[in-house]
Structure 1
Amino acid sequence: MKQFIRTTFLVLLLIGLSRFSDSAEKTNLKDSANPRFTSEQLEFFEKSIRPLLAEHCYECHSGQATRLEGGLRLDSRSLLLKGGDSGPAAELKQPHDSLLLQAVRYESYEMPPDTRLKAEQIAALSRWVEMGLPWPDEKAPAASETAKTFDLQQRKQDHWAWQPVKEVTPPLVKQKNRSNHPVDQFILAKLEEKNLHPSEPADKRTILRRLAFDLTGLPPTPGQIQHYLADSSPNATEKVVDQLLASPRFGERWARHWLDLMRYAESRGHEFDNDAPNAYQYRDYVIRALNADLPYDQFVTEHIAGDLLKQPRLNPETQFNESVLATAFWYLGEWVHSPVDIRKDETDRFDNAIDVMTKSFLGMTVSCARCHDHKFDAISTKDYYALYGYLQSSNYHQVRFESITHNQKIAKQVEQLDQRQQEALKPIIKSAFREGIQNFSKYYSEAQTLVGQNPAKNTAALAVEVQQKAARGNLSPVILNSWINFLQSNQDQSQLMSLRFMPESETESSLSPSSTPAHKQSGREDARIIIDYAWCTPEDFITDGFTFGLSAREPGTLVLDPSSAPLNLFAQTEGAARRDPLWNELVDTPSPQLNQKNKLRTYPRAGRTLRTPTFEVQGAVNYRVKGNCWVYACVDSHRLLFGPLHGSTLKKVQASPDGKPLWVTHDLSRYKGHRVHLEFTPIDQSPLEVYQIKHAATFPEADLVKVNLAGAEVPLALQTAFNEFVSGKSAPSSRSVALVNWVLTHPDLFSEPQSPARQQLKAEIDTWQQQREGLKKSIQTTSQTAMAIMDGNAENDHVLIRGSHQNPGPVVPRRFLEALGGDSPGNETGSGRLQLAQAINDPANPLTHRVIVNRIWAHLFGRGIVPSVDNFGVLGERPSHPELLDFLALKFVEEGQSLKQIIKYMVLTQTYQQSSTTTQDAADIDPDNILLYKMPLKRLEGEAIRDALLQISGRLDTTLYGPSIPVHLTKFMDGRGKPPVNGPLDGAGRRSIYIQVRRNFLSPMMLAYDTPSPFSTMGRRNVSNVPAQALIMMNDPFVIQQAELWGKRVLTESGLQTNEDRIRWMYESALGRLPTSEELQTAREFIEQQTNSNSSETDQARIWSELGHVIFNLKEFIYIF
């Protein structure tokens, strides 16, 4: 039986291959003498190899060398292969034995002679030699030839991609009746120039299968096929296209294309493959955005600056903030834990983010200008480092995206309420206490006398005296009696008013010469203040939520506080960033974690954190705080806090036992000269106030001043303090607020509790508290979180000479590329990313729209109009149909930048709907099918193959969104950072886009079918044809499992009465076509013979699964014709 199965397998495979062979693409081998390198290989050379050679080799081995050593030059590919006195420097047939590699490995010669190259530099050189020494097609420089001057304007003028998009009229063609679609006319015109003809239209089955895979990534079902075949209307294909574009599967399919650009992954790679928490929220955002047909310009804006939009886009169902989720792309790259050189690590992360951003949206290799002005394109090193500033002025955080927009409205209402109550309460407070303050000396004096006359505290006699003295002095007996009680209960301190405030000058530390400050201020004149929250500008008040309100509390700000009896009110003596207890109930929705060792994930931070402006470390940093908190010093934007290094950046602060503010020293001396900002996060529900952060050897403390109540200056000081407090013209001094607070904590000494003014004050405070409680009930306390970017303070960065962070050059302002109008730096506060997004979307920018329509064309036709979809520069390939590219770019804008509309526009062309049949004459003239005389044959990606298997077997779970399914780990997938959870073999039936992408544990099946490793932008996947692919389809347990499920399904599928029905259904489900008579006969004979010798139900399912497994292995199963 096994022999028959193998024979049948070969027969069916050959039959299936016969159709495939007729349409197979011819492979053109590269001419080894004149190699053609890909734009990706050339980019690798420009970014990783040329700067290395220039820095370490050219001094002795180039045309610029004063003395050429060993007769060897390394500034030209031809000269490198020619070699020097010892022979060729590189051996392409045996790359490992190349003299160049032996020398840098110190195995023969030792080069460079003074300093050995780093391991990663040697690895890059080895990879370069193994690639075949990719090098641009340029003339070898003559000896002592002066380097060309970087002329940006000339380069811009000379290259097509920088030129404005032109309005183009479709060309006139000879075959006018063939098609009136403008795209077809552009294609046909080029074909007619070569005396070529388009292929005939493909049959409806082929068209539907092509559309289904291209638009949804899944094969059409037999039901869809029959419905389409039965529709004879002229717009039958258009109706199918509309249905496919409206399917939720469309977003899943095209999101996978976009995620390739964004180097999407859910772990950080490097050594331990730590989690990238909640990265899947970005993936789900992309799917939703594509399904909603979000205009591309808004899609771009949300990626660059979705957190800065005044009116973010809200999810129509749950009203959460969609826009902010897009910004996660900035931080989807690889992160290194415990980097030895923390600034070098930052420059590598920034380089990756800039590389992804500029390739994805602009199709330009801006990162090639990291070490020097771009060798070929109109991109300078200043352009590159100008983009650094946008990242320096921003930072990573986990955003509470479900609640942030709603809670922002609540926070604004709270702020408006508090501001209204400030204005309402201050005059009431002044009115309530006016009489007591004006008669302060009289009350104090009379009370002092009465207490002295009644040492035995004769209550009855004292009450009579109080009434008499009050009447004679026109005083309130109630207030006078309160003074007496105060003095009697404070025998030791009865003559002193204890005030604690932060002096603003040496002369302000007292109210009278008799006062005794605890200590004198010293050393503050040479202290560098990083931030003082008493005088904090809006730009410098940075939080990731509303726990600290929307602004710092200035001195004199009234604050509700139940601990401030009896009024439950106090005035902020010192300016501070103060935690508002209104937000204490925040709860984070648990997020999936598989491999998370980051110390910053051990305590809740999202929506609770206060961030300082960025500053340069001078040594120890001191901060004055009150309360329990975590303090993280974010040095050079490093956030993966795990391992032996950089643990000192995180500090836990415990509140002072007496509840008073304290100064804390954070030793950051090892990071002297580095950029840092501090992040303060309260612990649990602990109150927290942050006052000041500074560099200083000594630091000031609030002075405790004992004021003699009998002093002549006290009444005037009180009146002055209240005038300052109520006027609102400027923030009152710390001393004045301390005096006001003394009154607020002793209200009965200055007014009668039952007086109309006091009752009004109480009513106003109660109303304020009730209104705040009402707003508290509206706060959305629970929320999922997602990675996102947030704005910091405006920062620019240095040009790094030769890309070295150890050799900083001049600071360059944040701006867009000069060649695209970014020559004038903006004056915006914050990062300026919103202005960057506007520049990318500017209609005058010739790149953005060309790049996106070219990407869409490449996915539909297998090759871009510009084949190097990520590189429109000089090293990229030129457009095959430049006029068509401009026509589509303008059409895209006219259609409102709708991705669905431009896709529909392309697939309804005859060019897209033609057959993929090759003719010998056309193949001789256009061997690479650049002119599109036929529809290119396309191999399915690994994800589409896997998803097709799931759909056909009936296992596909079409659930949208949600946490990723853990990747299935084979026994060969081992190593550090291995996830503790092994996902199911079939991924729980979910589509491939929902399977977790872990950088160090990628799916072997996906890798075999060229799914890119997620380290940088990959707009054009490799398409290989290697034995591993066939072996996977033959032996992979997942494929076998799905074949077994399919075998069971075919026996229970309704409407299938005979074996021939089942065979036809299987072929149609998998291949979109019916079997040929020969295929049908062979399959029927196989089923019948096996059934005769295997009668059980289990055997029947196995027999049909074996047939299904054979069909899965037909070559056409993984190709689109």
Structure 2
Amino acid sequence: MRTLFLLAVVMQLPAAEVEALLRAKCGDCHNAKTMASGFSIETLERVIAGGKKHGRAVVGGDPAGSVLLQMVRGELAPKMPMGRSLEPAEIATIEAWVKSLPPERATAKQQWKWPYTKPVQAELPVVRNQTWGRNAVDRFILAKLEQNGIAPAAEASPRTLARRLYLDLIGVPPTPAEVEEFLKTPYEQVVDKLLADPRYGERWGRHWLDVARYGETSGLEGDGAIGNAWRYRDWVIDAFNSNMPYDRFVTLQLAGGDEHSKTRNNYQPDVQGYVPTGFLRVAPWDRSNLVAADVRQNYLAEVTGTVGSVFLGLSVGCARCHDHKYDPIPTKDYYRLQSFFQASEARGGITVPYRDPDFAAKAAAKVKEYEERLNSGPEKKELDAFEKQLLTKLIAARIERAKKNAEFTKADLRLELRLPVEKRKVRGIFTEAEVREYMDRLEDAERTLDADEQQALDKVEAPMLQKLRKAYATVDPGPRFEALTQDDVRREAMAEYSGKSIFTADEKARYGQLAGDLAVYRRRLERWKPEVLAIGNVPGPPTGPEIAPTHVLLRGDYRQPGEAVEAGFPIAFGGDGGPAKLETDRYRQFVTRGRRLTLAKWIASKDNPQTARVWVNRLWQQHFGNGIVKTTSDFGVNGERPTHPELLDWLAVAFMDSNWDTKAMQKMLVTSATYRQSAENAGALKADPENRLFSKYNRRRLEAEAIRDSILSVSGRLNPERGGPSVFPPLPSDLADAARYGRTGDLMWEPNEKDADGRRRSVYIFQRRSLPLPMMVAFDSFAFSESCDRRSSTTTPLQALAMMNGYLVQEESEELAKRIAKEAGSKREDQIRRLFEVVLQRPPKPAELDRFASYTGGLDGLGRILMNSNEFLYVE
């Protein structure tokens, strides 16, 4: 008996030490209030239970199988405690404690299987409260709430719901008339109306563009424009508005232009299919002075990783260099997946006619307008005349300068040889055979910059230069400058000199302005042409070689190819490790086609367990603030566990059974009682502090686009024009230099075709990766270089400055004041009432009316105050 007592005491000693150790080292982040990742050190029982990400953290008697020890040792990322390390003796104390615990039967780590199992619809849960709930969504939510002793929040007020629904579905608040209509119309009818509104596609297309890492420039150094990426943006918006079935939405983005005819030979894909493949091309990609194989591999890696996270909700990119450390994705599977893109090539300038005849006519008119402007417009005529004037000055200045320096160089030789043939014959210095040979050598040397070509040029050039110097003793050297052209004028006018230029500062400025105007017209012309940025297929036999095999790259290094693999599906999803059966045409004439189509059909299949889950979860996140799986692009071991897996599976099956109908799914979500809850639920604060059980509506700040669009909407100046090339809202004057393209100095952020273009919806703003609109950046909007499944929502002083002093708010508050004065008359109380109705979609409270009536400033100041309120910036 005494022996057992002593053993119990000995076992308690390391437990007490461990408890004190964890409180001291981990308590800041993992206490009862913080509980990062759901892991708490408040009690040893909580320590053993672990957190949301990895589950059970301690396996009795098995230190090697215990997540806690794996993390403090650095065997499992991230190493804990964050930013520091435990001493070896401290780790030994924890290990001794784990060893002292009773051994458990199942010490092997349980594999996270849910993402790889096909979703099935469970029976709707039984709930006690039979009066709450409008559809199946509510049964699952209420069941979980009742299990935790929580009552759902009360329904939000009708005006709150009106604002919530409008901002959620179309991205702008309702007008006072729309609020009144909402109050009198059945809720479901309003939902149908908003889902049919063309602004719906602009709102929800923007969400997808974040996931698709949409941008219109290359990022990286220089950050130049990459082509007409806006065609892809408009396709996405139109796809949402037309309610394109999601399986087709996926297939076209992955496999546009890759299809076959099963009966017809020489079948050419629908050229319209190239537009949606912008998804595979809009990421940053630099093809400059880098190793070609490295650039190619980086492109393939980016596409493979993005497809995995966007459509499958898994971090497959982690398997590029080694087997995935957490999810069942071996490196071989990563390269088998990548092989589906092995026959793809990035293309620009593919002509794809506009589908809409009205827009096609408008674009054709624009192209004609800018061609005429560039060829014979007033700017072109003025520049030509000015260049001739400067050319005369340049020739005279060079002649004068040459008189002071009689040493003749290679530059003088080349000027002499650039003279017209008749002029050279009269001067008689060189024969035409000498000129032709020299020009051939010069072209080769300038084209290759190789040493041997330069040496060949030197052999010809040296004696010719001697001959020139001798001839200039009797032949006037001055006329050689007549060979100068307007190209030389451009170089002189645009060059930056530390010393004195031939042209004055005013002349250079005027030249830059005239040339810049024409450069803008050239870019506008290119943007209006029916060309797209897309993905196509490399030519294969018989006109080209076989497709290069895909190799497993050792440690992801393109210089270390290993085993060759063929395109195939991951074994985690039921693949057998063998090659996939590729889509081919009847006669196998187009052997490079069908790979992307094969992958797309597998991803968009009802047999794929993840595609519907991932998309429904993304919809849920946008409507409710958090996904059922909070990490919407990572359903794997390192992602968050689903709060309501049965509900997500039920919705995924319903979604597929509805023919992948996105709008129908959204209607189910926004008509649920769960969605219509108030943002307040005091009774749930303790049991559901993070609102993971959806015991209330998640109050959240609007995204930057919705804030800007709302400002323009309430002022009455939002330009509703849809589609077409991107626009350029005004930039602050201190960003003028940043607005230029780094390599040429041309304007990248340019004037709009008309002033109203600067007030179009934010989805149409030019997406330059290195220069987003400052007001948008303040509210966490960027042209993303990687897929973004969830925007940040920061709080910074720049947001207050943008809303109080920014150009947009200053200007639109003045326009808002004009609108209110026109609609409400001159009486201040009537103006205040109307101002609240327009900006906040509700009448003022008596105290607010009294307070605003005492304000001595202008009506624009009152409007600015309301636009700075949380009630305007947040949706609840």
Q: Check 1:401–1:168 CA distance in 2 against 1; reply closer, same or farther (3 A cut).
A: farther
1:946-984 per-residue CA deviation (whole Å, 9 max, x = no partner) reads: 000011111100011000013543345444725444456
Alignment of 1:1028 onto 2:798: yes
Structure whose residues are more often helix by fraction: 2
Q: Is the 8 A contact 2:274 2:532 kept in 1?
A: no
Q: Deviations over 1:897-920 (max 9, x none)?
A: 11111000100001101111130x
Counterparts of 2:119 and 2:252, CA distance in 1: 24
Report how far residue 321 of structure 1 moved.
5.3
Please give the secondary structure, in 1, of the residue aligned with 2:130.
coil
SS of equivalent to 1:788: strand
Given candidates 614, 620, 624, the residue that maps to 1:861 is: 624
Corresponding position: 1:393 with 2:343? yes
Cα distance in 2 for partners of 1:830, 1:588 equals 37
Tell me what 1:1061 maps to. Answer: 830
Structure 1 residue matching 2:685: 3-state secondary structure: helix
- Relative distance call for 1:402 and 1:393 in structure 2 (3 A) is closer
Matches within 5 A, 1:511-590: none
The 5 A counterparts of 1:333-412 are 333-398=283-348, 400-403=350-353
Residues 162, 592 of structure 1: alpha-carbon distance in 2 compared, 3 angstrom cutoff: farther
**1:940 alignment partner, one of 693, 699, 702:** 702
CA distance in 1, matches of 2:678, 2:648: 23
Query: Do the aligned partners of residues 75 and 915 (structure 1) sit closer, same or farther apart at CA in structure 2, a change above 3 Å counting?
Result: closer
SS in 2 for 1:925: coil
Amino acid at match of 1:871: D
CA distance in 1, matches of 2:822, 2:365: 48
For the structure 1 residues 847 and 590, does the alpha-carbon distance in structure 2 shift closer, same or farther, using more than 3 Å as the test?
Answer: farther
Corresponding residue for 1:787?
A: 533
Q: 1:880 to 1:1065 in 2, by over 3 A?
A: same
Map of 2:553 onto structure 1? 800
Alignment of 1:736-751 (within 5 A): none
| Distance 1:590-1:255 versus aligned 2 partners, 3 A rule | farther
* CA distance in structure 2 between the aligned counterparts of 1:301 and 1:311, rounded to whole angstroms: 16
Aligned to 1:201: 155
SS in 2 for 1:810: strand
Task: Name the amino acid aligned to 2:164.
Answer: R
Alignment of 1:1113 with 2:876, yes or no, is no
Residue 298 of structure 1: how far off its partner (Å): 0.5
Counterpart position of 2:143: 189
Which residue is equivalent to 2:720?
Answer: 958
Alpha-carbon spacing, 1:164–1:1066, altered in 2? closer, same or farther (3 Å): same
Residue deviations 1:381-434 (CA, integer Å, cap 9, x gap): 11211233233201122364544999xxxxxxxxxxxxxxxxxxxxxxxxxxxx
Q: Is the 8 A contact 1:942 1:1011 kept in 2?
A: yes
| Alignment partner, residue 839 of structure 1 | 602
Given that 1:159 and 1:874 are in contact with CA atoms closer than 8 Å, whether structure 2 keeps it comes out as: no
Distance in 2 separating the partners of 1:364 and 1:139: 33
**1:476 corresponding residue in structure 2:** none
Give the distance between the partners of 2:239 and 2:283, measured in 1 at CA.
Answer: 22
Q: Secondary structure at the match of 2:199?
A: helix
CA contact (8 A) 1:307 1:323 kept: yes
* Alpha-carbon distance, 1:339 to partner: 3.5
Indicate which of 224, 236, 243 corresponds to 1:286.
236
Please tell me whether the aligned partners of residues 625 and 698 of structure 2 are also in contact (alpha carbons under 8 angstroms): yes
Aligned residue number for residue 578 of structure 2: 824
| Superposed counterparts of 1:709-748, under 5 Å | none
**Aligned equivalents of 1:868 and 1:590: distance in 2?**
49
How far apart are the structure 2 equivalents of 1:1078 and 1:311?
71
SS in 2 for 1:333: coil
Aligned to 1:398, the other structure's residue is in SS state: strand
Partner of 1:880 in structure 2?
A: 643
Q: Percent identity?
A: 36
In 1, are the aligned partners of 2:211 and 2:788 still within 8 Å (CA)? yes
Call closer, same or farther: CA 1:29–1:278 in 2, change over 3 Å: farther
Q: Which residue of 2 aligns with 1:650?
A: none
Report the residue type matching 1:923 in the other structure. L
Q: Secondary structure at the match of 1:912?
A: coil
Q: Deviations over 1:760-818 (max 9, x none)?
A: xxxxxxxxxxxxxxxxxxxxxx9611011112234431111011112111111112222
Cα distance in 1 between the residues matched to 2:110 and 2:353 = 46
Give the AA of the match of 2:830. D
**Cα distance between partner residues in 1 of 2:368 and 2:769:** 23
Give the match for residue 1045 of structure 1.
815
**RMSD (CA atoms):** 3.8
SS in structure 2 at match of 1:913: coil
In the alignment, structure 1 segments of 5+ residues that lack a partner are: 1-27, 39-62, 64-71, 89-137, 143-153, 313-318, 407-585, 594-663, 671-781, 1091-1102
Matching of residue 211 in structure 1 with residue 161 in structure 2: no
Task: Give the Cα–Cα distance (whole angstroms) in 2 for the partners of residues 587 and 1085 of structure 1.
Answer: 54
2:684 corresponding residue in structure 1: 922
Q: CA deviation at 1:1072?
A: 1.6
- 1:981/1:238 CA distance change after superposition, 3 Å: same
Partner letter of residue 1111 of structure 1? L
Aligned equivalent of 1:676: none
Kindly provide the CA deviation profile for residues 93-132 of structure 1, in whole angstroms up to 9, marking residues without a partner as x.
Answer: xxxxxxxxxxxxxxxxxxxxxxxxxxxxxxxxxxxxxxxx
TM-score by length of 2: 0.65
Distance 1:810 1:935, change over 3 A: same
d(CA) in 2 for partners of 1:186, 1:338: 54
Contact 1:371/1:800, CA 8 A, preserved across alignment? yes
- The 2-side partners of 1:592 and 1:209 are apart by 43
Letter in 2 for 1:1117: F
CA distance in 2, matches of 1:885, 1:139: 39
SS at match of 1:876: coil
* 2:536 partner SS: strand
Shift of 1:302: 0.3
CA, structure 1 residues 590+363, in 2 after alignment: closer, same or farther (shift >3 Å)? farther
Aligned to 1:238: 188
- What is the CA deviation profile of residues 58-97 of structure 1, one whole-angstrom value per residue up to 9, with x for unaligned ones? xxxxx9xxxxxxxx98887249966699999xxxxxxxxx
Instruction: Supply the distance in 2 between the matched residues of 1:588 and 1:983 (Cα, whole angstroms).
Output: 16
Which one has a bigger Cα radius of gyration?
Answer: 1
Deviation at 1:1063, TM superposition (A): 1.5
Q: What whole-Å deviation, never above 9, does each CA across 1:582-637 have from its counterpart, x for those lacking one? A: xxxx99969999xxxxxxxxxxxxxxxxxxxxxxxxxxxxxxxxxxxxxxxxxxxx
Confirm or deny: 8 A CA contact 1:191 1:197 kept in the other structure: yes
Question: Deviations for 1:797-849, whole angstroms, at most 9, x for unmatched residues?
Answer: 11110111121111111122222244331354315111101110121111000
- 1:811 maps to amino acid: A
CA 668–183 in structure 1, closer or farther in 2 if over 3 Å, else same: farther
Shift of 1:139: 10
The answer (yes or no) to whether the contact 1:389–1:795 under 8 Å persists in 2 is: no
Per the alignment, do residues 79 and 207 of structure 1 end up closer, same or farther by CA in structure 2, a change over 3 Å counting?
A: closer
Q: 1:84 to 1:223 in 2, by over 3 A?
A: closer
- TM-score normalised by length of structure 1: 0.51
Q: Which consecutive residues of structure 2, in runs of 5 or more, have no partner in the other structure?
A: 1-26, 39-63, 65-72, 99-107, 263-268, 357-363, 372-443, 451-527, 541-546, 583-590
Matches within 5 A, 1:105-120: none
How far apart are residue 885 of structure 1 and its match?
A: 0.2
CA contact (8 A) 2:551 2:561 kept: yes
Aligned partner letter, 2:145: L
- 1:118-160 CA-to-partner distances (Å, cap 9, x unmatched) read xxxxxxxxxxxxxxxxxxxx999x9xxxxxxxxxxx9996421
How many residue pairs get aligned? The number is 616
Please state which structure has a larger fraction of its residues in strand.
1
Report if the CA contact (8 A) 1:217-1:249 is conserved: yes
